[in-house]
Amino acid sequence: MAANGALPILVVVDTDPGWDRVVLTSHRVLHVDPAHPEPLEPVDVAAAVVNLAAPGGLDVLHGLARAPIPVWGCLTVAGAEQAIPLRRVAITTSLRPAERVRSLVRRRQRQRARIVAGGRDAPALLALRRLLAADGLGASLAWDAAQAWDLCELVRPHLVVLDLGLPRTGHDVVARLGLRPFPPDLVLVPHGDDARAFETAFARARRRERLPRRHEALAAMLGQAIAPALRLGRAHG
């Protein structure tokens, strides 16, 4: 835990240093630039938030796959006062082998969880559904982003596995899921320039509806059960 009554630290990984101006009553916000992965001095870190729209953000998430603290995502752009809060986000380089994706899902969900999986690789998705069924987990499958969103509206999943290269913009699906009262956990497969695509998805969402301000987004994520602060030597895994 944080020493001497100091607030626990919430690390925000983003290229925008404006996060240093965000004030929370429960945590101290510490900005880390994903382009500079040098070690931080050992600090008490309670959780990490990674902006998926920041260049290098998905690489940082991948490196934090086994971090002993909660790792959440968000979407925002430099200079914006708003952010879209996401829940826990994991990165996998491919839907194959399905056993690897299954292991990511099993670390995050219990039996009877509802799952939506969307991707371009139909055989891999079908193999994943069979493996999850053996674990007592049901998965609804989608082949494009519009179908994935429709299934999310119908199923209200606890977790979404999403190939970001889905036709009809998988990045928009992530942004829309983040604006739900109870967003699902995410397992994402990168595709192309995801940072730019997430930046575009954020801009679309901002035109469409009111987005939470940055401090509101962090507070929403911290509303989840949070593990005690653990001592980390590096913010980047």
Domains recognised in the chain with CATH numbers: 1-87+192-237 (3.40.50), 94-189 (3.40.50.2300)
Tens of pLDDT, residue by residue over 210-219, are 999 999 999 9
Residue pair 76/84 in contact (Cβ under 8 Å)? The answer is yes
- In angstroms, the CA 237 to CA 60 distance is 8
Tens of pLDDT, residue by residue over 90-122, are 999 999 999 999 999 988 766 678 999 999 999
Question: Which candidate, 3, 2, 46, places its Cα nearest to that of 226?
Answer: 46
Tens of pLDDT, residue by residue over 194-234, are 999 999 999 999 999 999 999 999 999 998 543 333 333 33
Concatenating the DSSP letter of every residue in 152-184 gives HHHH--SEEEEETT-TTTHHHHHHHHHTSSSPP
Burial class, 38, CB count within 10 angstroms (exposed 0-12 / middle 13-18 / buried 19+): exposed
Tens of pLDDT, residue by residue over 12-34, are 999 999 999 999 999 999 999 99
Angle between helices 145-155 and 170-178 (to 10 degrees): 30
- In angstroms, the CA 138 to CA 130 distance is 9
| Residue 85 vs residues 144, 157, 222: alpha-carbon distances, Å | 23, 17, 10
85 strand-pairing partners: 74
State the pLDDT at residue 2. 52
Tens of pLDDT, residue by residue over 29-78, are 999 999 875 544 446 788 999 999 999 999 999 988 888 889 999 999 99
140 versus 228: the higher-pLDDT residue is 140
Residue pair 35/55 in contact (Cβ under 8 Å)? The answer is yes
**The pTM is what?**
0.89
State the pLDDT at residue 52. 98
State the pLDDT at residue 141. 98
For the chain, what's the residue count? 237
Tens of pLDDT, residue by residue over 172-181, are 999 999 999 9
- In angstroms, the CA 176 to CA 106 distance is 24
Confidence of residue 167 (pLDDT cuts 50, 70, 90): confident
